[in-house]
């Protein structure tokens, strides 16, 4: 993690303690599994799942004489990710051996990159409630994942599953620019979104395809960096926030009691919502890094990078700006829509040739609301973009009202079908015949003359009459026509 502080203190980010305010300094090391069919240095499958030790080659198992061979697809994906982070791409990088012993690391070392990574400094933009924030990216390097130790399958023995051994990871290291748990959560969410847009990682935290090591320290505002503790393998955005909040307050309590912070590696207990000590923190020299003698330096020319840059998709920041400029959406609505690439595509299909603000309202409030309630993703939506767009057309041409549209939406969700046919077959067209609406209004006013007189002085009572008319017409009367006629009949200016 970089020791260069690029942010000025923000008083709103200070955590109060018994003896004054404290500033939290956070850096993140995010490990994202590269989206590829095979592993970083072998042809074994990189797919999630499968029987234990089913996706293991002789290279992954560190059999004597087996040599690693770089997977070009993993290199391509790393370069594309670096370009998406607006980062420096290093045309020459070196793989190194990171030496440590653990049962699920059969080689006794991890092939990683040390002082010459494939990607250098970049930046991630966050839209926070208090304004935009820029978080520096220190580096991105490629490395192989370790296996997995299994402790719950036998009362007295542990097993090792090497399916994950050798799977390609991108370790994306931030600068210590984060100053709150909210910023850290927003950073992980934004990084996950960028990776998914690029298609370089599925970034599924539930499958362990995106994990974060969280570095936390506290200091007097603007002072020297404090001693940091690293919280390993946090596997959800919510847990990252909880771990930071607990760890910051733990360190503040120790310092205010006259103690000192030990540099160490800690784990987060998601049940107790607390961190606990794991081991003393290793330094780079503890790993005895040296260039891997079995792998030549990784080199490619600028033409290779330029060709990949041409094919990059439109990323969240650019898409948000376009949605605001071209569709007239609010920054808030655009933010919600650009989180997932599939959501953007769905919205744009619905908005094509229609009022984009109405389309965004239905996609965000009704569709996303229902998907979230039922735990579904946009890919599993029972209502297609064509169906929702067709329903919005019926609202725009006054065939149905917004209230009736919600009934149509429910039918589409539970039964499917064509919106126009549903409205026609079920007699759901709104009443636009002014004569029929006027007759209902006359009858309601005649039955409630006192309320009509009161409404002249208190126009807010008009809503009661609107409700009565809608009730009398089964919710099918055109709301604007009802409102206009009521004002005219009662005499409200």
pLDDT digits (tens, 9 = 90+) for 55-77: 999 999 999 999 999 999 999 99
Q: Are 187 and 172 in contact (CB under 8 A)?
A: no
**In which band, very low, low, confident or very high, does the pLDDT at 401 lie, cut at 50, 70 and 90?**
confident
Residue 1 reports pLDDT greater than 60: no
Poorest-pLDDT segment among 80-94, 102-116, 395-409: 395-409
Architecture of the domain defined by 434-490: Orthogonal Bundle (1.10)
pTM of the model as a whole: 0.86
Q: What is the pLDDT of residues 167-195, one digit of tens each?
A: 999 999 999 999 999 999 999 999 999 99
- What pLDDT does 455 receive? 73
CA Rg, the chain, in Å?
30
349 φ/ψ angles, rounded to the nearest 5 degrees: -65, -40
- Residue % of the chain over a pLDDT of 90: 72
Instruction: Pick the more confident residue, 183 or 49.
Output: 183
Q: Are 82 and 201 in contact (CB under 8 A)?
A: no
Residue 2 reports pLDDT greater than 50: no
Structure tokens at 464: 């009661």
**In which band, very low, low, confident or very high, does the pLDDT at 266 lie, cut at 50, 70 and 90?**
very high
**Mean pLDDT (the chain, rounded):** 91
Residue 140 reports pLDDT greater than 90: yes
Listed by start position, the domains of the chain span 11-307, 312-425, 434-490
Tell me the torsion sign for CA atoms 118, 122, 127, 133.
positive
Please give the Cα distance from 441 to 482 (Å, whole number): 8
Angle at 164 between CA 184 and CA 56, to 5 degrees: 165
Q: What is the pLDDT of residues 359-392, one digit of tens each?
A: 999 999 999 999 999 999 999 999 999 999 999 9
- What pLDDT does 246 receive? 96
What is the arithmetic mean of pLDDT over 325-349? 96
HEC per residue, the chain: CCCCCCCCCCHHHCEEECCEEEEEEEEEEEEEECCCCECCCCCCECCCCCCCCCCCCCCCCCCCCCCCCCCHHHHHHHHHHHHHCCCCECCEECEEEEECCCCCCCCCEEEEECCCCCECCEEEEEEECCEEEEEEEEEEEEEECCCEEECCCCCCCCEEECCCCCCEEEEEEECCCECCHHHHHHHHHHHHHHHHHHCCCCCCHHHCCEEEEEEEEEECCCCCCCCCEEEEEECCHHHHHHHHHHHHHHHHHHHHCCCCCCCEEEEEECCCCEEEEEEECCCHHHHCCEECCCCCCEECCHHHHHHHHHCCCCCHHHHHHHHHHHHCCCHHHHHHHCCCHHHHHHHHHHHCCCCHHHHHHHHHHHHHHHHHHCCCCHHHCCCCHHHHHHHHHHHHCCCCCHHHHHHHHHHHHHCCCCHHHHHHHCCCCCECCHHHHHHHHHHHHHHCHHHHHHHHHCHHHHHHHHHHHHHHCCCCECHHHHHHHHHHHHCCC
Please give the Cα distance from 447 to 396 (Å, whole number): 34
Closest CA to 335 of 200, 190, 122, 201: 190
Poorest-pLDDT segment among 109-113, 213-217, 423-427, 445-449: 445-449
What is the arithmetic mean of pLDDT over 272-280? 90
Please give the Cα distance from 279 to 291 (Å, whole number): 27
Q: How far is CA 440 from the centre of its chain?
A: 51
- What pLDDT does 78 receive? 98
Structure tokens at 418: 């064509």
Structure tokens at 330: 């609010």
Q: Are 198 and 170 in contact (CB under 8 A)?
A: no
Residue 312 reports pLDDT greater than 90: yes
Residue 405 reports pLDDT greater than 90: yes
Angle at 157 between CA 154 and CA 161, to 5 degrees: 85
Q: What is the pLDDT of residues 429-483, one digit of tens each?
A: 876 656 767 777 778 888 887 777 777 777 777 778 778 877 877 777 777 777 7
Q: Are 32 and 172 in contact (CB under 8 A)?
A: yes
User: Following CA atoms 22, 24, 25, 28 in sequence, which dihedral angle do they give, to the nearest 10 degrees?
Assistant: 170
CB neighbour burial string for 69-104, b if at least 16 within 10 angstroms, e if fewer: ebbebbbbbbbbbbbbbebebbeebbbbbbeeeeeb
Q: What is the pLDDT of residues 77-107, one digit of tens each?
A: 999 999 999 999 999 999 999 999 888 999 9
Q: Are strands 95-99 and 92-93 parallel, antiparallel or unpaired?
A: unpaired
């Amino acid at each position: 993690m970089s020791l260069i502080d690029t942010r000025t203190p923000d008083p709103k980010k200070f955590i109060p303690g018994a003896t004054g305010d404290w500033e939290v300094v956070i850096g993140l090391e995010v490990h994202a599994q590269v989206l590829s069919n095979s592993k970083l240095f072998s042809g074994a499958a990189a797919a999630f799942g499968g029987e234990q030790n089913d996706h293991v080659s002789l290279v992954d198992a560190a059999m004597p004489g087996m040599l690693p061979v770089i997977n070009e697809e993993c290199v391509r994906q790393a370069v594309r990710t670096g370009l998406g982070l607006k980062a420096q791409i290093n045309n020459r990088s070196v793989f190194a051996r990171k030496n440590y012993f653990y049962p699920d690391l059969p080689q006794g070392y991890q092939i990683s990159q040390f002082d010459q990574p494939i990607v250098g400094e970049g930046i991630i933009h966050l839209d926070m409630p208090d304004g935009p924030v820029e978080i520096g990216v220190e580096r991105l390097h490629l490395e192989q994942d370790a296996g997995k130790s299994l402790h719950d399958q036998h009362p007295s023995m542990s097993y090792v599953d090497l399916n994950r051994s050798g799977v390609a990871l991108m370790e994306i290291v931030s600068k210590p620019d984060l100053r709150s748990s909210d910023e850290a959560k927003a950073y992980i969410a934004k990084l996950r979104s960028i990776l998914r847009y690029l298609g370089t990682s599925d970034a599924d935290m539930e499958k362990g395809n995106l994990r974060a090591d969280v570095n936390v320290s506290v200091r007097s505002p603007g002072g020297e960096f404090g001693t940091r503790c690293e919280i390993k393998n946090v596997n959800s955005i919510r847990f990252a926030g909880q771990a930071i909040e607990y760890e910051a307050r733990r360190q503040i309590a120790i310092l205010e009691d006259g103690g000192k912070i030990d540099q160490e590696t800690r784990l987060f207990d998601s049940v107790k919502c607390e961190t606990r000590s794991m081991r003393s923190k290793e330094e780079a020299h503890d790993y005895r890094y040296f260039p891997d003698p079995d792998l030549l330096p990784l080199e490619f020319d600028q033409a290779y990078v330029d060709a990949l840059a041409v094919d990059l998709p439109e990323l969240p920041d650019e898409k948000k700006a376009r949605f605001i400029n071209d569709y007239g959406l609010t920054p808030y609505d655009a933010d919600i829509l650009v989180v997932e690439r599939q959501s953007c595509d769905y919205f744009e299909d619905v908005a094509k040739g229609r009022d984009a603000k109405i389309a965004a309202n239905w996609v965000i409030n009704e569709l996303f609301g229902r998907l979230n309630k039922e735990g579904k993703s946009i890919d599993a939506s029972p209502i297609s973009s064509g169906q929702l767009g067709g329903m919005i057309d019926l609202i725009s041409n006054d065939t149905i009202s917004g209230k009736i549209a919600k009934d149509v939406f429910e039918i589409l969700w539970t039964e499917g079908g064509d919106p126009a046919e549903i409205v026609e077959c079920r007699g759901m067209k709104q009443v636009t015949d002014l004569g029929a609406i006027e007759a209902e209004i006359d009858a309601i006013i005649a039955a409630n003359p006192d309320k009509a007189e009161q409404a002249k002085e208190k126009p807010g009572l008009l809503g009661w009459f609107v409700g009565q008319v809608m009730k009398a017409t089964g919710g099918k009367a055109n709301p604007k026509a009802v409102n206009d006629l009521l004002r005219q009949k009662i005499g409200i200016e």
